[in-house]
Structure 1
Amino acid sequence: MGANTSSLTSTTDTLDKSEHSSNLNLGDIPENCIAQILSYFNPPDICKLATINRTFRAASSADFIWVSKLPSNYHYLVAKLLVDDDMKRLCEKEMFAKLSRPVCFDGGNKEFWVDKMTGGVCVSVSSKSLMITGIDDRRYWNHIPSDESRFPTVAYLKQIWWVEVDGDVEFRFPAGAYTLAFKLRLGKVIKRNGRRICSTEDVHGWGVKPVELKATTGCGQHIVSKQFLETTGDWEYHRVGEFIVNDSNTPTKVKFSLIQIDCTHTKGGLSIDSVVICPTNLAQDFKTLP
């Protein structure tokens, strides 16, 4: 009888445990375990998973998760965005959220942002920040409004003999490989019969000689690329090349230029949006950049 009672009790305990196990849900997983799991996801997915329940939402705010997603020099980047007192009140998740949106500097003509997927730092330099030969003479160049750009205007060349565009940026990039490119288009957008079209009536002279694109860094790296401008109607990223940053704590000075100074013919119809610098692993398709 005792043996039978013991057997019955054992069976009942097993059933109780089985029933209890079947009632477990995601909310029963310890928060620190969930945080460890979330650390393996990219930021957009972490934010999606945070909507599952309160435990996931709390776990998604763990500082150690977001420190691993932020650039190594994120304190410098945040300091460009906020005053010290504001920075002290932010957690790492909030810092990531703010840095993943465009942050303007140098009078609003340049901006940087952190890529949401990789944590890489990108920089964009507007046409307003570039030194363009003849830009003050409206017979040659104009700054025209654009809703296709990160910035309010783009530079548009009607016609000129000598094209020379120079610019620079000084920024504390995280260590790594970076690609620099000019964002250009042959043609300009106009409205005709209530529709937006790309006018190419001023486009000429770019098939005679290539433009020369250059970039140099303060540590002596030089990049030169010669390219013909051929495609009309669409924005294209013309890659100058790659440079390496070795020290995240030292500002990197990058100078760049676009030149076509063959005065045997005029050229026109060129729109210049900006110069973009981003980690080389993001440069496989510039058009995916926000």
Structure 2
Amino acid sequence: MLGARELTIIWGDTPSYWTWTSQPHSRFPEVAELRFVWWLEVKGTIETITLSPNTKYAAYFVFKLKSSGVTGFKDRHVELNVSAHGIASSGARRVSLDYEDEPRHVRERGDGWMEVEMGEFLNEYGDDGTVDCILKEIEGYLKRGLIIEGIELRPKDVGS
């Protein structure tokens, strides 16, 4: 799993837009908490050589929405995209991060966080290459209250 500090978060080091805080059920010492932005873009990159070859993977955005003060996610969609070796896996997906909007896409995890699948890819050879996982929302409306733990890559069963 790539923790929030390992991700490229646009304006992530600007305290008026993002704060870095701890969460009791996070596996990382710090998570990113969105104060407010109009442009949301989060990118995680991992070297394919660190993954098992000949394995199908799925990438999951792991997050929470604050219990109060959340703006810009209800009835709104973010774009999710995964690309391996510069080739998009299955095209961009558009989903809401609000569980009530997308109960079939946003799932509660056993660790107190939520997750949404960003896409999948086949790590065919496991050689030197990269996988990019991107979440983006750039339509220009105010967003606040998102807490990012990270992006998790897990092997995916062929049948799922």
**TM-score bracket for this pair, using the shorter chain length:** 0.7 to 0.9
**Letter of the aligned partner of 1:259 in structure 2?**
K
1:272 maps onto 2:148 in alignment:
yes
TM-score, structure 2 as length reference: 0.82
Residues 24-103 of structure 1 aligned to structure 2 (within 5 Å): none
Match of 1:227 among 95, 104, 123: 95
Structure 1 stretches of 4+ with a deviation exceeding 6 A read none
SS in structure 1 opposite 2:87?
coil
Residues 93-172 of structure 1 aligned to structure 2 (within 5 Å): 124-172=1-49
**Which one has a larger percent strand, Structure 1 or Structure 2?**
2
What runs of 5+ residues in structure 2 fail to find an aligned partner? 101-107
Structure 1 or 2, whichever has the larger Rg, is 1
Q: 1:20: which partner in 2?
A: none
TM-score, structure 1 as length reference: 0.47
Q: 1:100: which partner in 2?
A: none
What runs of 5+ residues in structure 1 fail to find an aligned partner? 1-123, 188-199, 285-290
**Which one has a larger percent helix, Structure 1 or Structure 2?**
1
Q: How much does 1:171 deviate?
A: 3.2
Root mean square deviation, CA, Å = 2.1
**Letter of the aligned partner of 2:32 in structure 1?**
A
On the 8 A contact 2:5/2:31 being kept in 1, the answer is yes
Q: 1:177: which partner in 2?
A: 56
Q: How much does 1:219 deviate?
A: 5.8
Q: 1:241: which partner in 2?
A: 119
Q: With CA pairs under 8 Å and 6+ residues apart, which has the higher RCO, 1 or 2?
A: 2
Q: How much does 1:222 deviate?
A: 2.8
Q: How much does 1:205 deviate?
A: 1.1
In 1, Cα distance between equivalents of 2:23 and 2:74: 26
Q: How much does 1:157 deviate?
A: 0.2
SS in structure 1 opposite 2:157?
helix
Identical aligned residues as a percent: 27
Q: 1:218: which partner in 2?
A: 85
On the 8 A contact 1:179/1:278 being kept in 2, the answer is yes
On the 8 A contact 1:158/1:202 being kept in 2, the answer is no
In 2, Cα distance between equivalents of 1:167 and 1:139: 22
On the 8 A contact 2:80/2:119 being kept in 1, the answer is no
What is the count of residue pairs matched by the alignment? 146
On the 8 A contact 2:61/2:117 being kept in 1, the answer is yes
